[in-house]
Amino acid sequence: MAIEMCYEKDVDPSIIQGMKVAVIGYGSQGHAHALNLMDSGCDVRVGLREGSKSWAVAEEAGLKVMTMEDAAEEADLIMILVPDEIQAKVYKESIEAHVKPGNTLAFGHGFNVHFGYIVPPEGVNVIMCAPKGPGHIVRRQYTEGSGVPDLICVHTDATGNAWDIAKSYAWGVGGARTGIMLGTFAQETEEDLFGEQAVLCGGAVELVKAGFDTLVNYGGYPAELAYFEVYHELKMIVDLMYEKGISFMNYSISNTAEYGEYYAGPKVINEQSREAMKLILDRIKNGEFAKEFMADCENDHKWLLEQRAACDDLEIEKTGKKIRSMFTTVKK
């Protein structure tokens, strides 16, 4: 099943440039969307809570800032970029009353719409523009002249041109410079959660932790050496894969390393790990993960905060902090 792509030539920038856009929230994604859209010649206003720390920061960056209610009232397109777990509450309290027929509601991730925590009114376009990268990279690449690819989706096409609006919005945040992928809310929500859980965040971090533990606690090697081996060098290997593929990375490493990759990799990520991945995907698809996450959020993030504190306390993190402070070539 190949994914449909589009590029700058397929997009009409005048659509988004002709709309009043509200970006709700000024965090990781919010600041990137708002600033990139502004630099793309769009009429952007940032919607924030009164007293928000981001208010002055966004104004200093040259953006119009107002309350979420005023921003939603003025706008033709409302992009909701507050944390997933509070979106339903923020939407109910500050946005819903200001969404009018013909408006477009937009999201950076499908969580709330796909799992039914937000049910948009009829007559309103519901679209998504999800950059496939962290917000600070979305902004950095835009200022450098490139752009993080976006996944765009349409949940409801009320005006008949929701796809063109989504493409034009993605152009505004810089996604068309590299490529825009067309998908569905279900695909984006499920794949994104799976990717961050099994591979990008959950999988990668646990792999690094397990390698460090084995070297230090089982093998008795110095923590600094172990840190360099399984943590610091990971970025260089991933950079090679990202730039030119696994084969090029294999070409760059020694034959010894490549032999070890084929021999040891499937022993670490084995049938049991693949079964665990299937279970993780099943729990995402049937909504169990969403329910569990939302329950912890209602409980003031008790479990999440315990895990966060435990992570800060790991020997590998302490070693990393010490080493990075001695390393002038690692960017702050």
Q: Which residues are catalytic?
A: 109
Among 25, 147, 172, 183, binds ligand NAD (CB under 6 A): 25
- Tokens standing for residue 78: 């409302």
Strand-strand pairing, 180-183 and 43-48:
unpaired
Partner whose footprint covers residue 159, from Mg ion, ligand NAD, none (CB < 5 to 8 Å by kind): none
Q: Restricting to residues 163-192, which ones interact with Mg ion according to CB under 5 A?
A: 192
d(CA 261, CA 276): 21
Which is closer to ligand NAD, CB of 29 or CB of 156? 29
One DSSP character per residue, 114-174 reads HTTS--PPTT-EEEEEEESS-HHHHHHHHHTT----EEEEEEE-SSS-HHHHHHHHHHHTT
Q: At 87, is the secondary structure helix, strand, or coil?
A: helix
CB of 212 to ligand NAD, least distance (A): 26
User: 104 phi and psi, to 5 degrees?
Assistant: -120, 125
Calculate the alpha carbon distances from 14 to 40, 93, 169 in Å: 10, 32, 10
Neighbours of 35 (CB within 10 A): 23
Question: Pattern 81-120, binding to ligand NAD, x per CB under 6 A?
Answer: xxxx-x---x-----------------xx-----------
Which is closer to ligand NAD, CB of 90 or CB of 215? 90
Among 16, 26, 249, 293, binds ligand NAD (CB under 6 A): 26
CB of 97 to ligand NAD, least distance (A): 16
Of residues 200, 250, 228, the one with CA closest to residue 320: 228
CB of 68 to Mg ion, least distance (A): 22
- Residue 36 sits in the site that holds ligand NAD (CB under 6 A): no
CB of 303 to Mg ion, least distance (A): 18
CB of 130 to Mg ion, least distance (A): 7
d(CA 97, CA 282): 36
CB of 42 to Mg ion, least distance (A): 24
Which stretch in 131-139, 151-159, 203-211, 291-299 sits in contact with ligand NAD by CB under 6 A? 131-139
Asked whether 114 and 93 are in contact (CB, 8 A), the reply is no
One DSSP character per residue, 254-289 reads -HHHHHHHHHHHHHHS-HHHHHHHHHHHHHHHTTHH
Asked whether 21 and 44 are in contact (CB, 8 A), the reply is yes
Q: Restricting to residues 192-231, which ones interact with Mg ion according to CB under 5 A?
A: 192
Which is closer to Mg ion, CB of 191 or CB of 258? 191
d(CA 273, CA 261): 17
- The residue at minimum Cβ distance from Mg ion is 192
Which is closer to ligand NAD, CB of 65 or CB of 223? 65
Strand-strand pairing, 180-183 and 150-156:
parallel
Asked whether 16 and 42 are in contact (CB, 8 A), the reply is yes
Among 130, 193, 216, 249, binds ligand NAD (CB under 6 A): 130
- The residue at minimum Cβ distance from ligand NAD is 27
Size, binding site for ligand NAD by CB under 6 A: 22
- Tokens standing for residue 138: 């979305």
Among 91, 118, 135, 148, binds ligand NAD (CB under 6 A): 135
Which is closer to ligand NAD, CB of 17 or CB of 52? 52
CB of 65 to ligand NAD, least distance (A): 10
Asked whether 188 and 130 are in contact (CB, 8 A), the reply is yes
Partner whose footprint covers residue 23, from ligand NAD, Mg ion, none (CB < 5 to 8 Å by kind): none
Residues that bind Mg ion (CB under 5 A): 192
Residues that bind ligand NAD (CB under 6 A): 25-30, 48-49, 52, 54, 81-84, 86, 90, 108-109, 130-131, 134-135
